[in-house]
Amino acid sequence: SMNSYKRRERKQIITIIVTFAVVLALIVVYNVVRNINSDNSDDMPDDKGVEGTFQIIDEDYKNVSALSYVHDWEELKFKVVDGKWTLEDDPDFPLDQTTVSYMAAAISDYGGFRRIDYDPEKYSDYGFDEPTYKISVTYYDKAKDSFRTRSYVIGLKNPVTGYYYFYEDGDKYLYSINDTLFQYFDYTKEELFSADKIPGPNLKDIVDITAEYNGQTYVIEPRDETDEVDTTDDSDTSKDEKDPVESLMDILTRDIKLSYKTCVDYKKSEDDNAKYGFDDPTLKLTIHYKEYEKVDAESGVSEATIVKDKSCTLIFGSVVTATEESNTESEDSSSENDGTESAESTESTESTDTTENTESKIYLKFEGSNIKYQIDYSICEKILAYFTEANE
């Protein structure tokens, strides 16, 4: 029994020693890891500060009169002119109004998660010398009839906390913020291009599509439900056939590519009509359709529906044959975009795809719009087939 007692005692001592060794090892590991981390964050500023939620910006976005940001070395400056957002250095550019309005709203109401005393000595430690974003916002103060500008810089991401450093010029604090703001400002000029849109009404709301071509006017209308019943006797195929108006709308909405890439010009200019052949168009195509708008009735109890007659007119200008195209395209787009862009676009069409280059193009614009596009001429031929065949 004496032996077993000694054995038990030895076991306990071994357990204590092992436990002590494990604890010691953990302490060593902890210190090593902490040192590695602190080595990494030696150049990271100390994020002591005060934790919490802080409303950094609380403004009325409706008072924003100008807005600019720098991201990936591209600076974009917007200002409100006659109630519309415009690009300051390119006022005719068709700017996506909704996206810029969202920017103004996002930067007018923002908060942070930690407030840190600002130390100007550590400007570059926070990454403010090579910022993720620089954003500047000008507000109009109605009461004082004056403007004031707030400027912000967003530095680097702290790898430990995952937050970014945010500082407003002149503030005695800086803040840790998350990256939800970034999605609103993650746009290049090209991505903010707002192309014209071909309407996509329901077939039953289309009144007709009219083509003016070669001095003639052609009209096609959606088939009546009753027409279809009559024709079913003659052949089995007619009821399965798509309504020509529906097929034509498919071509218009699917094949006509309207974008920054197909745009050749968007400047407001009087002599453009002759330059692009819009004064004597190849084809004028008008979609007449109905749009329904719900409005509150006078009584405020029931709502009424107003039917509006709407139309959209596409004007197809002069045809550009493949040989002309390589000359005109570089001319047009270099005046438009910067030279690098046009050089790329002409090169790519010439070298990569030979079929592309033999295809003629045609100029296109929407009535009432300043944007001119260049699309494949074959699309125009496809459209014409619907009218000329129907009338033969």
List pLDDT tens digits, range 272-285: 889 999 999 999 99
Same domain for 187 and 314, yes or no, is: no
- What's the total number of domains in the chain? 2
pTM of the model: 0.74
Domain holding 224, by residue range, is: 203-321+360-391
The answer to whether the CB of 46 falls within 8 A of the CB of 110 is no
Handedness of CA 37, 42, 45, 50 (dihedral sign): positive
Structural domain includes residue 34 = no
Q: Is the pLDDT of residue 56 over 80?
A: yes
- Confidence category of residue 354, pLDDT binned at 50, 70, 90: very low
The larger pLDDT score, comparing residue 52 to residue 317, is at 317
Same domain for 247 and 170, yes or no, is: no
Structural domain includes residue 95 = yes
Structural domain includes residue 382 = yes
324-327: list long-range contacts, CB under 8 Å, 24+ apart.
Answer: 325/357, 325/360, 325/361, 326/350, 326/357
Q: Is the pLDDT of residue 332 over 50?
A: no
Of 192, 227, 252, the one marking the end of a domain is 192
Of 192, 225, 240, the one marking the end of a domain is 192
Structural domain includes residue 251 = yes
Q: Is the pLDDT of residue 227 over 80?
A: no
pLDDT, tens only, 130-154: 999 999 999 999 999 999 999 999 9
Of 158, 192, 226, the one marking the end of a domain is 192
Structural domain includes residue 126 = yes
Percentage of residues of the chain with pLDDT beyond 70: 80
Least confident of 111-120, 187-196, 248-257, 318-327: 318-327
Query: In degrees rounded to 5, what are phi and psi of residue 158?
Result: -75, 120
Same domain for 148 and 223, yes or no, is: no
> What amino acid is encoded at 347 in this protein?
E
Same domain for 308 and 254, yes or no, is: yes
